[in-house]
A and B are shown apart, each in its own frame.
Chain A
Amino acid sequence: MNGAKLRQNIAFSVLGALTLMIVVPILLVILYVAINGAGSITWSFLTAAPRNGMKAGGIFPAIIGTILLVIGTMLFSLPLGVLSAIYLVEYAGDNLFTRMIKLSVVNLSGIPSIVYGLFGFTAFVLLLHLGTSILAGSLTLAIMSLPVIITASKEALESVPFTYREISLSLGATRWQTVRYCVLPYAIPGILTGTVLSLSRAAGETAPILFTVAAFYLPRLPRGVFDQVMALPYHLYVISTQVPNIPLSLSFATALVLIGLVFLMNLVSIILRAHYRKRRLW
């Protein structure tokens, strides 16, 4: 028995060490970026346009560009994602078509982001003549975000107790009325959490926007949805690989702002989740 106990202690220590080998690098990465970037983040860095071939100035157009892209992505993917989740949970029967949708969601989530970029380029930029624009980029990012939103919304809808639907239907409500008044209100928190999470991922993505929207150097704000924009992740890519002699502090500060933005969105989703979990009725 003592031998078994010893083996358990050794095994658990190994597992703990493996976990530590993940946690420590994460901490290091965050601290490294934070320490090196924090010094360069000033008010003017956040609110000024880049100057002198991006060697000086700020990243304001890139921040605005990323925010616009996130909003555009949400406008397209949220309604579509929620409606398809409603279809899957509330309407779909157990048939071939439903299985095809589920399989499509699985495969959509596995398609590499660069392939979305290719698709967005041929479909939106060229075929629909949207050009490299906010619209084309948002549509591309929206399709990429769809599977996450659908999965999250599906889980949220499924977690609403079945009795809610039974009571509503037994009172003579139609199927849509039941969904609208008795299921959706209770699923909204879960849907929002998933949506914010998927949008935070979209905000950090570079590959899908490479050919669909991102501007290399455009030190002004966009004039409309058919205009190009700079975006934070692409800007970081550009200044760390494409342009020589960019001060490292600028790259670090850009990385820190990008991480900060993404973490902020994650934080919102965590707070939403915690807030609504407390008020949960079942």
Chain B
Amino acid sequence: MPAETNESTIRTYVKPQALELGFHASMKRLWRKISEPIIELCIRLSGFVVVIFVFLIFLFLLRDSLSLFRHYPLAQFLFGRKWLPISDPPQFGVVPLLLGSVYVTLWAVFICVPLGVGSAMFIAEVAPKAIKNVLKSFVEILAAIPSVVLGFLGIIWLGPMLRNTFHLSTGMCGLTGSLLLAFMALPTIISISEDALTGVPRSYREAAYGLGATRWQTLWRVILPSASSGIVAAVMLGIGRVVGETMVVLMVTGNAPVVPTSILQPLRTLTATIAGEMGETVGGSEHYYALFGVGLVLFVITFAINLVADLFLRRARK
């Protein structure tokens, strides 16, 4: 009799716990079995999502641009020399905007390529280590300054200064934008060029020094040519940044959508047009779709630039 009570107490005492333990363990085992495929699926999906985003961006731009071309001829959009979105009938010729972007970009490139590549050479090959680190952090600081701050300084400082030096009617012109954009493209150009220069194998340098070349001769005749692919990539990526930059050009280039004839004139780029006019359009109107067309043009241009840059980068790595 006591034995029986004993057994039942033991059973009631032990059983729930054992059950729970078994349940817990089996859940844990189950979780271990399921969690790994789930997480691996997530990982694979994330890789896929990145591709999807690029496709989606392209598709959305294409869809809305096509809505324009149903009513407005494509040739007139691509080759039209007038951008008059709110006149009657409206004209959506992208040429003045495209040329605005080209003008601003070319001038910015003229300014920032010598500066950028020159200082990359200085940082990589000439500067002592302590100065090198200081210079590098300066470049990082420049990269961190928000574009809207530079645009603000362009309005109150650089623009008026240029107006006074060149005796212009307004300081809000292409050159103001180009100067600021050149400044903004510098970090990209410097850091990638510097990587390319320091990536040149040591043996190249040693061979040149062994032949009696000075440091400058080695840098100019040996290192620079060997790093040329990387430097071209750096310049291309810099151009990509300049073409795509929005706020600075919106704020300082004067917003005149006319075919530019001089860099000292107000003009307007592709990016600034979208940013400046999107807020004033009615959703679903021709104007609205035309801005997506401008976006598509931008997308195609930057896509091409980045593709070329990537090609050169890959060649540089070999």
Residues of A whose CB lies within 8 Å of any CB of B are 4-5, 7-8, 11-12, 14-16, 18-19, 21-23, 25-26, 29-30, 32-33, 79-80, 83-84, 86-88, 90-92, 97-98, 100-101, 103-119, 121-123, 126, 143, 146, 150, 174-177, 200-201, 203-207, 210-211, 233-234, 236-237, 240-241, 248, 251, 255, 258-259, 262-263, 266
Contact = CB atoms under 8 A, between A and B. Distances in A.
B50 A101 contact: yes
A55 B151 CA distance: 20
B159 to A, nearest CB: 12
A14 B118 contact: yes
A81 to B, nearest CB: 8
B183 A259 contact: no
A88 B47 contact: yes
A109 B251 CA distance: 23
A90 B299 CA distance: 31
Contacts of A7: 214, 216
Contacts of A8: 214-217
A153 to B, nearest CB: 11
A241 B251 contact: yes
A18 B118 contact: yes
27 contacts: A4-B216, A5-B214, A11-B220, A12-B126, A19-B119, A19-B127, A23-B135, A23-B138, A25-B183, A87-B47, A88-B47, A103-B307, A104-B53, A110-B309, A111-B57, A113-B246, A115-B295, A121-B278, A122-B60, A204-B144, A210-B278, A210-B279, A240-B151, A240-B156, A241-B155, A255-B149, A266-B140
Given A4-B214, A19-B123, A119 B302 contact: no
Contacts of A23: 135, 138
B246 A84 contact: no
Contact of B271 (A83, A112, A150, A176): A112
B43 A114 contact: no
B51 interface: yes
Contacts of A113: 244-246
A119 B57 contact: yes
Contact of B36 (A112, A143, A174): A174
Interface in B102-123: 114-116, 118-119, 121-123
A126 B61 CA distance: 14
B54 interface: yes
A22 B119 contact: yes
A137 to B, nearest CB: 15
Given A12-B122, A233-B148, 7 more contacts: A87-B43, A100-B51, A101-B50, A119-B60, A122-B292, A237-B151, A259-B149
**Interface bin, chain B:** 35 or more
A123 B60 contact: yes
A8 B209 CA distance: 14
A107 B299 CA distance: 9
Contacts of B219: 11
Given A18-B118, A118-B291, A236 B152 contact: yes
A63 B271 CA distance: 26
Q: Decide if the interface of chain A is mainly helix, strand, loop or mixed.
A: helix
Contact of B156 (A5, A174, A176, A248): A248
Contacts of A121: 278
Contacts of B148: 204, 206, 233-234, 236-237, 258
A67 B74 CA distance: 43
A18 B245 CA distance: 24
Contacts of A115: 57, 61, 244, 274, 295, 298-299, 302
A91 B43 contact: yes
Contacts of A106: 306-307, 310
A4 B307 CA distance: 40
B93 interface: no
B145 interface: yes
A105 B47 CA distance: 10
Given A18-B122, A25-B183, A126-B283, A110 B305 contact: yes
B95 interface: no
A207 B275 contact: yes
B170 interface: no
A32 B141 contact: no
B153 A206 contact: no
A211 B279 contact: yes
Nearest to A263: B144
Contacts of B168: none
Contacts of B274: 114-115, 117-118
A5 B155 CA distance: 45
Contacts of B53: 104, 108, 143, 146
Given A104-B50, A248-B156, A111 B299 contact: yes
B246 A112 contact: yes
